[in-house]
Structure 1
Amino acid sequence: MALRAVHKRYFRELLPAMLVYCVLIVLSVYWLKTLEGTAMRTLVTLLPVVPIAFVLRAMVRVIRDQDEFERLIDLQAIAIGGGAGCFGFFTYGMLLNAKVLPVPPGEAVAIWVFPVLMFCFGVAKCLCRLHYLRQR
């Protein structure tokens, strides 16, 4: 199956942003070990956030420019994936509150919110696509 122009553009926008993110996340971890001072540590820490903004922009653009059926699948995947991710974090929070699990530092939990939601969206999108392919 050949990619449509909208999806080609998505990959042209997504892949460089993810590559830059991967490089910056590795560099920032190493730089933080050598830096002192709040301003420089803040700047270096936030460097990997910039390419993620471009990833989100690419996602919004591809969803906006897809046909109605593809947007339907993405909407359902966002709803299901977002709900599953939120449910998982809510359950985790309840277990932490009950002191059933050891309490990690806040940043250890916060840094996983975006990747978990994107993972849940990806899985949900695959399942939604399979659902509609089976109905054909």
Structure 2
Amino acid sequence: MRAVHKRYLREFIPAMSAYVLLVLLYGVLMPRTEGMLWRIVLALLPLLPIVLVIRAIVRVIRDQDELERRIDLEAIAIAAMSTGFGYFSFGFLLNAGIGQKVTPADVAIWVMPCLFGTFGLAKLLVARRYRSHE
């Protein structure tokens, strides 16, 4: 593993672990929290480690070689368009009365995890395609 990827893991794993812990804390404390200011703080707290995750992703992409950067760029494009298309389609289906009714918060909170997950899958597929052309 190259140094750039080791650094990425050193930055990504603690930030993502902190995110998971803060989301769990949010889930436990939010129903018990009364004051508006504390509810806002509690709601925004999980975003802090996500900023660090985004920073780690940008840094690793910036510091990779050209082929790795190209793979990531294609994977990001596929992930962004797929996630956007999926949520766009989901919105049309909900407006048509098809499917279970969900709140906007239930939909919005899953956009970033879906984007990250789709990026991971797209990166595997794009990298495999480039390996098969070698």
Normalising by the smaller structure, the TM-score range is: over 0.9
Structure 1 residue 125 and structure 2 residue 102: aligned?
no
Structure 1 residue 40 and structure 2 residue 43: aligned?
no
1:66-105 aligned within 5 A: 66-105=64-103
Q: Quick one: distance in 2 between partners of 1:93 and 1:50?
A: 28
TM-score for both structures, normalised by structure 2:
0.96
Q: Quick one: distance in 1 between partners of 2:61 and 2:4?
A: 9
Which 5+ residue runs of structure 1 have no aligned equivalent? none
| Structure 2 residue matching 1:92: 3-state secondary structure | helix
1:21-60 aligned within 5 A: 21-60=19-58
Q: Quick one: distance in 2 between partners of 1:36 and 1:85?
A: 34
Shift of 1:70: 0.4
Question: For 1:88-118, what per-residue CA distance to the aligned partner results, in whole angstroms no more than 9, with x for missing partners?
Answer: 1111111111111233111000001111111
Which 5+ residue runs of structure 2 have no aligned equivalent? none
Q: Quick one: distance in 1 between partners of 2:98 and 2:31?
A: 33
Shift of 1:84: 1.0
Q: CA RMSD in A?
A: 0.9
| Structure 1 residue matching 2:60: 3-state secondary structure | helix
Q: Quick one: distance in 2 between partners of 1:31 and 1:80?
A: 36
Q: Quick one: distance in 2 between partners of 1:85 and 1:35?
A: 32
The number of residue pairs the alignment matches comes to 134
Q: Quick one: distance in 2 between partners of 1:90 and 1:20?
A: 30
List 4+ stretches of structure 1 deviating above 6 A.
Answer: none
